[in-house]
Structure 1
């Protein structure tokens, strides 16, 4: 039995259920880790392994050295610890151990936690309890300190705002010069305005503006019709620029959105929302020298869909990591803005459940309408999370589209989805029959992230029905 930091038995709301292989592989920080972890997903390399009802999984994996690697996973986090030198989280050993655990009780039996694993588990859960109840230690383990000097913080914010304003004014002039000289100049190989302007926005401490400027540099190489797309993106950048220069006249929700789009951090605020959150999708995307992790959650009671966004240095997986398809009883706190889509994950209650009810969903027409409504509040929004109910993937010309079962409306799949293996997984899951799909609907089309068969998507089947989320990213 594990003991808490105060000597009391650690308790979880219910015994931890085993994950599926898909849920384990969704945690991999990259393809290389996924392949390496799969090679360790059998009982052969492991010894002294086991699990218990509190969500702990442990084992010793034979490596190149004389001593085996000690690997332990707390699936209630999830959190990982391994004695190997890898800087990836989870490492291939943690992934392999979880794959063995997911394969069934016979492969990884229930047992008593060994001392080397129990020490880490007890400390981790004790710190998590302290953080949830009293604010806990900081990320480096030091005691939490009081708030920073508000006067100094205000002065720093004022200096940064002044630098951003100067950068925005310079950007306005550069966009005017571009349009005055004609868009054709942007297609010249030696045209260096984009990188130079982006560097100036970095100097002005406006990373959001810098990122949008860099995106303009890729438009001339995007194929036929690029001048129209470049003009559209320049117009959106001009709109954001003018919004910052006139931010004092904007209503506060829109002003908060503008500050976020420019690149100013906005901490989560307001009362936490506790719900049973289904993990719809998790995927990582490179963003310059860092990696951005996006996790979509859907609240069973609130009906709200939120985004957890975290960042990690190159070569390191951001946190947290949540297996696609599990349901967590947790609190989230929303960030400010007009749509209030982004959130921070707070305290979790009990062990994750391996299944959950998919969002109710709607038609392709309602998805387009939802994206249009969101654009009204945030003109710079690339896509909006939606669930399509009873749609069939159908080839269309050089691409694919999702057609309503009634055949009345359809949504084309985004170009980014056509090159992913998830497209063929979706086609195989459908087999020509309707499926329920979650993804992002935007001006480039629909990008699918998760799916359920039509039977699983039928929420009228009652509370006894079981659902399995099939990840597509």
Structure 2
């Protein structure tokens, strides 16, 4: 496999960047000037990049992952040097020639692939990974469940006090009481409830109509509390969803799905504690849409990065619970040649129906992945929307989507004609993540 098996275009390479600053810095390094000792072979590309010091940075990319290694001090992943090296290869296939892998790159590649190839746990690792005392593990789980129950009951009282005193009191009391309640949910080992409490605290005074939004979110939080407190009487898939929503780990469950997976979108969301990367994949044979999550510590990008528009051969194993969108990738994804058509889509009404059905299984869903076909981006009185070609129905774009550069990329791609768009449909509107034009249906255009 050549080094460009999965990263064939500059757009695919730039889609791997953790942020806009990395895209700009990587683009400046996508020329031959700062590079020496470059080469490619055995599914990898490497090179030495001149930096501010006397010794150049050693950069190597395993494109079968992809995975990256660079001895620069950057905490971003991939760093600008890895992006620049891939951009150099993407811009000119002859710029980096086939050659023998140098020792410094070969040692990293060998170690990485040895780790990736160790799919079967040894007896020692299986023993180390299993609890020494199953009865002790059961007791720990029961103690945590009891703490979460105590936290849910306390949160119920907090919501009852709020409604008894009137929603207007939420603005007067300020954020401190909400943060104190969230801290108590953390103490109860219910991070999902803590996150919902913090969201509630941010609503008062957030703009026109905030009491309505606060009431809606209070109702959903109350529903989650009651579902946890009566989880033993719920159907197993829904009870598993409730467990995941309060913050318990949901096990990987089910038979692995082997397919050619089209990478639809990849984007990061960060807070003070964690960076979460969401990667959407579509199985070209199974028709399954899957979400892969990857995490990094605050200020650091997650390690897993897949180029938008690439097609990868591999396995995904779904998590338990309603919807079963989230999945875990196997040890190795192998790029395959050739473009892939977009997922089959439908009109706006079909997307709304899909979101409605998903809410029936998970009422706390913010959004649901859908593909719209034959839609046109249009400007309405309240902002941008995606409208069916006949103009009968339309979906407004979320405020966040209307402020991103991807909106103008979508408008330019459409040029007033119908296009196919993949994105997330939710109660705040539609967030476009990728698009395809009728002229080039095999070319995935990233919008985030």
TM-score normalised by the shorter chain: which range applies? over 0.9
Inter-partner Cα distance in structure 2 for 1:33 and 1:144? 42
1:401 aligns with 2:376: no
Describe the superposition over 1:176-197 as per-residue Cα deviations: whole angstroms up to 9, x where unpaired: 0000000001122645321111
TM-score, normalised by the number of residues in structure 2: 0.96
Deviation at 1:391, TM superposition (A): 0.6
Structure 2, unaligned runs of 5 or more: none
Partner residue in 2 for 1:460: none
Partner of 2:121: 135
- Deviates most, 64-73 or 105-114: 105-114
Q: Does 1:225 align with 2:213?
A: no
| Number of residue pairs aligned between Structure 1 and Structure 2 | 447
The within-5 A match list for 1:110-121 is 110-121=98-109
Relative to structure 1, the CA distance from residue 409 to residue 398 in structure 2 (aligned partners, 3 Å threshold; closer, same or farther) is: closer
Are residue 164 (structure 1) and residue 148 (structure 2) matched? yes
CA RMSD of aligned residues (A): 1.9
Give the one of 141, 151, 163 matched to 2:135.
151
Instruction: From the superposition, tell whether residues 354 and 202 of structure 1 become closer, same or farther in structure 2 (CA, over 3 Å).
Output: farther
Contact 2:372–2:421 (Cα < 8 Å) also in 1: yes
* Pair 164,396 (structure 1): closer, same or farther in 2 beyond 3 Å: same
Rounded Cα–Cα distance in structure 1 between residues aligned with 2:339 and 2:103 = 32
State the shift of 1:13 in Å.
Answer: 10
SS at 1:469's partner residue? strand
For the Cα contact (< 8 Å) 1:360–1:387, is it kept in 2? Answer: yes
Equivalent residue number for residue 445 of structure 2: 470
Over 3 Å counting, the alpha-carbon distance change for 1:156 and 1:117 in structure 2 is same
Structure 1, 405-414 or 229-238: larger mean CA deviation: 405-414
| Displaced runs of 4 or more, over 4 A | 12-15
Q: 218, 224, 231: which one pairs with 1:240? A: 224
1:55 aligns with 2:39: no
CA contact (8 A) 1:27 1:323 kept: yes
The alpha-carbon deviation at position 33 of structure 1 amounts to 1.8
Q: What is the 5 A alignment of 1:13-412?
A: 16=5, 18-52=7-41, 54-131=42-119, 134-135=120-121, 145-149=128-132, 150-188=134-172, 190=174, 192-348=176-332, 350-353=334-337, 355-412=339-396
**1:250-306 C-alpha deviation (Å, 9 max, x unpaired):** 010000000000000112122211011111000000133111110000001111101
2 CA distance for matches of 1:144 and 1:343?
25
Contact 2:39 2:99 survives alignment (8 Å): yes
Asked whether the 8 Å contact 2:310–2:335 carries over to 1, the reply is no
Query: CA separation in 2, counterparts of 1:279 and 1:104?
Result: 24
User: Offset of 1:76 from its aligned partner?
Assistant: 0.7
Among candidates 424, 427, 445, match of residue 411 of structure 2: 427
CA distance in 2, matches of 1:296, 1:17: 16
Greater alpha carbon shift after TM alignment, 175-184 vs 25-34: 25-34
Aligned-partner Cα distance in 2 for 1:391–1:169: 46
Local SS of the residue matching 2:254: coil
Give the drift of 1:151.
2.0
Change (3 A) 1:154 1:360: same
- Give a deviation string over 1:182-221, Cα, whole Å, max 9, x none: 0001122645321111111111110000101111122223
TM-score (norm 1): 0.91
CA shift at 1:144, angstroms? 7.9
